[in-house]
Amino acid sequence: MYQNLKYDNDDVVDVMPNSDACVPTNDYLILRSTTEVVIQRYVFPVQFFLGFFGNTINLVVLLSRGMRSEVTNILLSVMAFADLGLICAMLPGSLASFPIAYQSSAFRWYFYKTKLYFHTLANFFSAVSTWLILVVSIERFAGIRSPMGARHRWNFSIAVVVIIVIFLLSSLVTSWRIFAYDVLIYTICNGTQIIGHTGMANYSWIEKSTYASVYLKYGQLVQLISTVIIPIFAVAVLNVPLICFMRNRNAINNIRKTRNNFTNRRPRSNSDFCIMQRQERKVTATVLAIVTCFTLTNAPALVPVIMLTCGVKISDTNYSMAAHISNSIVVTGKVLNFLLFCTSSAHFRRKLLTICETIIYRIKGQTPKKRSVSMYRPMVQFEQSSRRRCNELFFKIFKILLKL
């Protein structure tokens, strides 16, 4: 997230702090980069609306009766909470791009006072969400490889322990920013204007502690490796064998189907194999979508680091543009978690429809009607046909990419 942003030019003005000179209205800004202003004013509001609405739906459905008893749903609900926390932590930065906010002295003081804390929270929730994606992938892989064994290995207690460990480690690798930087707030123009400057912190206890100095010196590198590089490779390494396993099982099922047809045994086996193959194709398509989206939305965070390695200065405009764009792409990936992990499930959609109908009936003061199997059949048939078309299109695109 914010691991690559520069901190040395919050308010670049030719005015001495605590002086009587005033900053012109056109220069009295909080966000100095044009790219950042465009992203925060026009792109992030759309991301915030979709992310807030989608993850709220996630929490309502996943924490409903009958859903919260499954380990996967517990992990997905915590991931939805982390994504909500991420976009909420980024909200002050978006508000700072609007004139009604950055022209307010009260908002400017609040923004500079809490800037580092909100940036740290954004990085923290981003790290939690990233590692939960990896844990969910592990849980699904274990469930497909050994359904009965996964039930015995994964339970509520283990899920809680894993979540606590993720929260503790995420806070450890993202909290360095609070101690490494400090925001200085100045009043100018006879106390009517407020400007802020973020620079390196100078705490005496840090200089005396060797561990603290090492932690702050390598904090950014550790955060980058643990929340970007390792998860990208881990998710890919974990899901590629899963896809191969699904393809091998499809081949075995096809062989069994051919043998049954040849020996004229089990007349209903054809339909059973077709249903199983459709389900496995759905799982494979979902896994491919998760891996592709996760890689494409997290890998751009490496671009600013590569630019610094190649000698680009942190004050360079191109570096600032790359950092802000990569952060926006990461947020887009968090918003897409709602579509990839939850709405791709037919059971999730049916549960959501049931909850919506229950709410509507309660508003009208009526008793909710119980759905029969025949009432679900048209919706299931529509979902199957639309999903089949999407899967066929996805596999065609994937085959074309493989040929390239």
Distance CA 404, CA 97 (A): 42
To which residue do tokens 């561990």 refer? 211
Distance CA 77, CA 57 (A): 10
pTM: 0.79
Distance CA 383, CA 355 (A): 18
**Containing H/E element for 185?**
strand 181-188
Distance CA 6, CA 150 (A): 45
**What are the C-alpha distances in Å from 202 to residues 190, 195, 205, 221, 323?**
28, 20, 9, 20, 26
Topology (CATH) of 2-369: Rhopdopsin 7-helix transmembrane proteins (1.20.1070)
Q: What is the pLDDT of residues 344-398, one digit of tens each?
A: 677 777 888 888 888 887 787 776 665 554 444 544 454 555 555 555 554 555 4
Other CB atoms within 10 Å distance of the CB of residue 125: 25
Q: What is the domain partition of the chain in residue ranges?
A: 2-369
Measured between its terminal Cα atoms, the distance across the chain in Å is: 32
Give start and end residues of each alpha helix (H) in 299-316: 302-309
Give start and end residues of each alpha helix (H) in 192-268: 204-208, 210-217, 219-224, 230-263
Q: What is the pLDDT along the chain (404 residues), one digit of tens a residue?
A: 655 444 444 554 445 555 677 888 888 888 888 889 999 999 999 999 999 998 998 898 888 887 777 888 888 899 999 999 999 999 999 999 999 999 999 999 999 999 999 999 999 999 999 999 888 878 776 766 665 555 556 788 888 999 999 999 999 999 988 888 888 888 888 888 888 888 777 766 666 677 777 888 888 888 889 988 898 888 877 777 666 766 665 555 555 555 555 555 554 455 555 665 666 666 666 667 777 788 888 888 888 878 877 877 766 778 888 888 999 999 998 888 877 777 667 777 788 888 888 888 778 777 666 555 444 454 445 455 555 555 555 455 545 544 54
Burial degree of 133 (CB within 10 A; 0-12, 13-18, 19+):
buried
- Strands (E) located in 25-97: none
* Contact between 70 and 357 (Cβ < 8 Å): no
Assign 5 to helix, strand or coil. coil
Distance CA 381, CA 385 (A): 6
The structure tokens listed for 190 are: 């006879």
Distance CA 384, CA 278 (A): 9
* Contact between 197 and 183 (Cβ < 8 Å): yes
Q: What is the pLDDT of residues 103-143, one digit of tens each?
A: 999 999 999 999 999 999 999 999 999 999 888 878 776 76
Q: Mutual orientation of helices 71-89 and 44-62 as an angle, nearest 10°?
A: 150
* Contact between 25 and 90 (Cβ < 8 Å): no
Rg (the chain; Cα; Å): 26
Assign 198 to helix, strand or coil. strand
Quick one: DSSP state of residue 371?
P
